[in-house]
Structure 1
Amino acid sequence: MFFKQFYDNHLSQASYLIGCQRTGEAMIIDPIRDLTKYMTVADDEGFTITKAAETHIHADFASGIRDVADKLDVSIYVSGEGDDDLSYKKMPKQTHFVRHQDTIYVGNIKLEVLHTPGHTPESISFLLTDEGGGSNIPMGLFSGDFIFVGDIGRPDLLEKAVQMKGSTEIGAKQMYQSINNVKDLPDYIQIWPGHGAGSPCGKALGAVPMSTLGYEKINNWAFNVTDEATFVETLTSNQPAPPHHFAQMKQINQFGMSMYQPYNVYPSSNNERIAFDLRSKEAFHGGHTQGTINIPYNHNFINQIGWYLDYDKDIDLIGDKATVEEAVHTLQLIGFENVAGYRLPQTTIMTSSIHSADMTGKETHVLDVRNDEEWNQGHLEQAVNIPHGKLLSAEIPFDKNDKIYVHCQSGVRSSIATGILEYRGFTNIVNVREGYQDLPSSLK
C-alpha cells in the first residue's frame, strides 16, 4: 500500500493520498482545491487517481472534492448521514453518499465508513485495512475533525458561524458518544487527523502529524472523561472564536463554487479598495500607507485575514510580487478570488510605537483588542475591549482625534488594529508593540 500525507501550513490541514500498488489505483482523502500535488505524486508513483472522499463539510477551507470529480472524472464519496438541511447539495453525478459501515475499495485497500458525529452531524471517518498487503485487521483511521492529536473537534461551529441555535450542546453529546464508540478499536490503530496545531477547529491540537488510538486513549483528555456532563462542559468551554470566513466556507462546501483556476494580479492604483499589507509588523510600523491593514503573510495569515474578508468585495494586497502571488493562491484555498491588484510597499506614514514600559497606566483612551478569555483573565481598568476581528464594523467609542493606546497580548493583533483604526479615520494611534504581557505588573 502507498500512503502519503500532504500538509498545508496556512490551513493547518492534512489531506492524504493512498494507493494500491497491485492495481495502480489511488484515492485522495479530504482534498484541497488545488489538485496539483496529488496529481504530481500519483504520476511519479505510477498511480491513477480513481476515487476521492472527504470526512465532512469543512468550515475552515474550500473543499476540492468537486474539483476532483470534474477535473479527473472519478467517483467521489461523501457522507449521507446527518441532517438533510445541512447535507451536501448540488453534487456531481458520480457522487456516492455513504453511511455507517459502508465499504469503499481502492484496489485491494478496504475503507470502512464510521459515522462519527460531533464536530458536524454528518462527520464520518474511514477505517483502513490493507487487504492487498495480506492483512485482515485495520491499520488506521482517517479521522477528519473527529480525533486530533491531543484533542477532538469542536462542536460549536454551526452555532457560532452559521447561527444554528442549540447545535453546540447537541454536537457535544454526539461527540461523547462517538468517542465511546471507538474505544473498543485496537490500540495499534493509527490516527490520521484532518488538522494539526494552529487550526481553529479545536483548542489544543498537537503538532505531531499522526498518532495511535492507544496513545490518545492515555493522553487525550476526551478519552479520560467518563461523565457526559463534564465532557460537554470541557469540550464547549473556551473554544476560540471562529474567523468570519468560516460561515462562507460552510456555504461553499455545502453547495459548491467554481472550479479552481489560478489567476494573475497586476499593479493597482486604486486607493479606494481596502488593502492588506503582507509585510512583518516591524516593517509595517517602519512606514506604510495610511489606512492599509497589516496581515503578515506567515503561517497565521488565513486565521487573521479571514476576519476581514467580504467575499462580495475586491481587495488589494501590498508586498513584492512573488509574495503577493503566493498569498493569492493561499486565499483561493478558502475560496476567495477577489484580489483585484497589488501595490508595492510605501513609507508615507510613520506610526507611533512605544514600549509598554513607557505607559503610566493613567492613559485615558486605551483599546484592548484581545479576545474575551484574555480580557477576563486581566485587563487595564480604563480599557475598552473590542476583539480585533470586530474592529472593521464595531462602534468604537473614541473621537477620531483622540490619542488611542491600542494593545493586544504580544503586539501582533494591535499592529493589525492600528491599520484598521487608520482605515476608519482615527488619526492619533499609539501601538503598544509588546502588548499586555509586557506591561508592568503594577498596571495590571
Structure 2
Amino acid sequence: MFFKQFFDKKLAQTSYMVACQKTQEAIIIDPKRVIDEYEEVAKSEGFNITQVTETHIHADFASGLRDAAKRFNATAYVSDEGGENWKYENMPEDTVYLKDGDIINVGNVELKVVHTPGHTPESISFVLTDRGGGSDEPMGIFTGDFLFVGDIGRPDLLEEAAKMEGTTEEGANAMFDSLKKLNDYPDFMQVWPGHGAGSACGKSLGAVPLSTLGYERKNNWVFEYENKDAFIKELTSDQPEPPSYFAQMKKVNKAGLPEFKVKEVEVGTPDKLPGQLFDLRSKEEFKKGFKKGAINIPYNDKFLQFAGWYVDYEQPMTVIANPEYSKTLQEDLASIGFDNLKLIVPEDKADKYFDDSYENVTPEELVENHEDKHILDVRSTSEYKEGNLDNAHHIHFGHLDEKEVPFNTDDTIYVHCQSGVRSAIAMSALKARGFDNVVNIEKGYAGIKEAMN
C-alpha cells in the first residue's frame, strides 16, 4: 500500500493519496482545486488515479473533486447522507453516491464509509484496511472535519457563515453521537484529519499532522465529556470567527466551479484600475504610501486566511504585486474559488496611484492618557475577552468593511490587534471607508500590556 499526505500551509488543509501498489490504482481524498501535485506524484510512482472522493461539502476551500474526476478520468465518490439539502449537484454521470457502511475498493485497499455528521449533515469518514497487506484490522481513519488532532470540527459554520438558523444545535448534537461511533475501533488506529493548526474549522487544532485514536482518547478534550449538554456547551463556545468567503465555498462546492486553468493576466498601469484593489506589499511599505481604497494583505503564507475576509466574488480584482507571482497568485485565489484576477500593477510602478499614508505610534505613546483616546481593538472575540483596554471598542478586523464603526470619520482613532499584523490590514480597510485620522499601534496589545507594567 502507498500513502501520502499533502498539506497546504496557506489553507491549513490536508488531502491524501492512497494506492494499491499491486494494481497501481490510486484514490485522492479531499483534493484541493489545484491538482497538479497529485498528478506529479502519481506519475513518479507509476500509479493511475482511478478514483477521487471527499469527506463532505467543504466550506473553507474550493474542492478539486470535479476537476480531478475530469482530468484523470477517475470515478467520483461522494456522500449521499444528510438529506435533500446536502446533495451534490452537477456531478459526472458515473458518480457513486455513498451511504454509511459502503465500501470503496482501491485495488486491494479497502475504505469503509462511516457517516459522521456534526460539522455538516453529510459528513463521512473513511476507515482504511490494507487487505492487500494481509490485514483484517483497520490501519486508520480519514476524518475530514470530524476529528482533528487535539480538537473536533465546529458545528456552527452553517449558521455563522451560511446563515442557516438552528444548524449549530443540530450539528452539536450529531457530533456527540458521531464520537460514540469511534468506540468500535482500536486505540492503535491512526487518525488522518482534514486540517491542522491555522484552520478556522475548529478552535484548538494541533500542529501535528496525524495521531492515533488511543492518543486522542487520552489527550483530546472532546473525549472527556460523557454528558451531552456539557459537551455541546464547550463545543459551541469561543469558536473563531469564520472568514466571509466560507459562505461562498459552501455554494460553489455543492454546485461545482469551472475547470481551473492558469491564464495570462494583464500587467500594467492603466489610468483606471478595474474592480477591487488589493495591495500585496509589506505593511511597512504600504503605510508610507498607497492608493486609498486598497486593502493591504501582504503576500505570504497567511495571505488567504486574511484576504478571504475581503474578496468580493462579484467583482474583478486588481493587485499591486510582483508580476512574477501571477501563476501562484492565480492558484491561491482559485483555492478559495476566485478566478477573476484582471490586472497586476508592478510594485515598482504603483506609486503613480498613491494618494494616502498612515502613521504608527509606539505602545508607550498610546498608554499616555489612553483613557481619553478613541481606541479600536480588531482582534478576535476570544482574544478580546481574555484581556482588553477598558475604553477600547471591539470589531473583528474582518468585519470592518461591513459593521458600523462607533466613531466619526474625522476622529483620531488608535487601532491595535495582538501583535501588529491584523491592525495594519484594518488600517487599510478603515481608510477605504473614509476614516482619515487612523493611527496604528506598533506591537499591538502585547506591546500595550508590556508598556503598562
TM-score (norm 1): 0.96
Partner of 1:382: 391
The one of 279, 299, 302 equivalent to 1:300 is: 302
Equivalents in 2 of 1:322, 1:222: separation in Å? 45
Counterpart of 2:384 in structure 1: which amino acid? W
The aligned residue for residue 155 of structure 1 is 155
Residue 231 of structure 1: aligned partner: 231
Q: Distance in 2 between matches of 1:352 and 1:214?
A: 52
Deviation, 1:37, is: 0.7
Moved more, 341-350 or 169-178: 341-350
Counterpart in the other structure of 1:331: 333
| 2:112 aligned partner | 112
Alignment deviations for residues 330-384 of structure 1 (CA, whole Å, 9 cap, x no partner) = 0101111122111223454442111111012134322222222333333333332
Q: Does 1:188 align with 2:188?
A: yes
Q: Is 1:320 the equivalent of 2:322?
A: yes
- What residue number does 1:344 align with? 346
Percent of residue pairs identical: 49
Contact 2:410/2:436 (CA < 8 Å) preserved in 1? yes
Counterpart of 2:290 in structure 1 is: 288
Q: Take 1:320 and 1:441, find their aligned partners in 2: how far apart are those partners?
A: 37
1:168 partner SS: helix
CA contact (8 A) 1:80 1:122 kept: yes
Residue aligning to 2:408: 399
On the 8 A contact 2:364/2:451 being kept in 1, the answer is no
Name the structure 1 match of 2:440.
431
Task: Work out the number of aligned pairs and report it.
Answer: 444
Give me the whole-angstrom Cα distance separating, in 1, the residues matched to 2:385 and 2:204. 20
Q: String of CA shifts for 1:109-142, please: whole Å, max 9, x gaps.
A: 1111111111111110111111111112111111
Which residue of structure 2 lines up, in the alignment, with residue 139 of structure 1?
Answer: 139
Task: Name the structure 2 match of 1:15.
Answer: 15
Q: Deviations over 1:51-102 (max 9, x none)?
A: 0111000000011111122222221111011121122122111211111111
Amino acid at match of 2:421: V
Distance 1:221 1:397, change over 3 A: closer
Q: Which residue of 2 aligns with 1:37?
A: 37
Give 5+ residue unaligned stretches, structure 1: none
Instruction: Answer yes or no: is the 8 Å Cα contact 1:380–1:443 preserved in 2.
Output: no
Structure 2: 5+ residue stretches without partners: none
Q: Distance in 1 between matches of 2:293 and 2:363?
A: 24
SS of the residue aligned with 2:151?
coil
Partner of 2:177: 177
Determine helix, strand or coil for the equivalent of 1:162. coil
Report how far residue 389 of structure 1 moved.
1.1
Question: TM-score under structure 2 normalisation?
Answer: 0.94
1:357 aligns with 2:364: yes
State the match for 2:92 in structure 1: 92
Structure 1 partner of 2:53: 53
Distance 1:306 1:174 in 2: 29
Shift of 1:7: 0.8
3-state SS, counterpart of residue 152 of structure 2: coil
* Corresponding residue number in structure 2 for 1:246: 246
Q: Shift of the alpha carbon at 1:324?
A: 4.5
Structure 1 residue 295, shift from structure 2 partner: 0.9
User: How many Å apart are 1:443 and its aligned residue?
Assistant: 6.2
User: Residue 442 of structure 1: CA displacement?
Assistant: 8.4
- CA-to-partner distance for each residue in 1:395-428, whole Å, 9 max, x for gaps? 2233333222111121111101111122122222
Q: Which moved more, 1:80-89 or 1:25-34?
A: 80-89
Query: Displacement of 1:167 after TM fit?
Result: 0.9
Cα RMSD (Å) of the superposition? 1.7
- Output the amino acid matched with 2:230: T
What amino acid is the match of 2:358? T
Distance in 1 (CA, whole Å) between partners of 2:259 and 2:10 is: 20
What's the CA shift for 1:440?
4.4
Q: Secondary structure at the match of 2:59?
A: coil
- What is the alpha-carbon distance in structure 2 between the residues aligned to residue 357 and residue 198 of structure 1? 31
AA partner of residue 417 (structure 1)? A
Answer yes or no: is the 8 Å Cα contact 1:69–1:94 preserved in 2: no
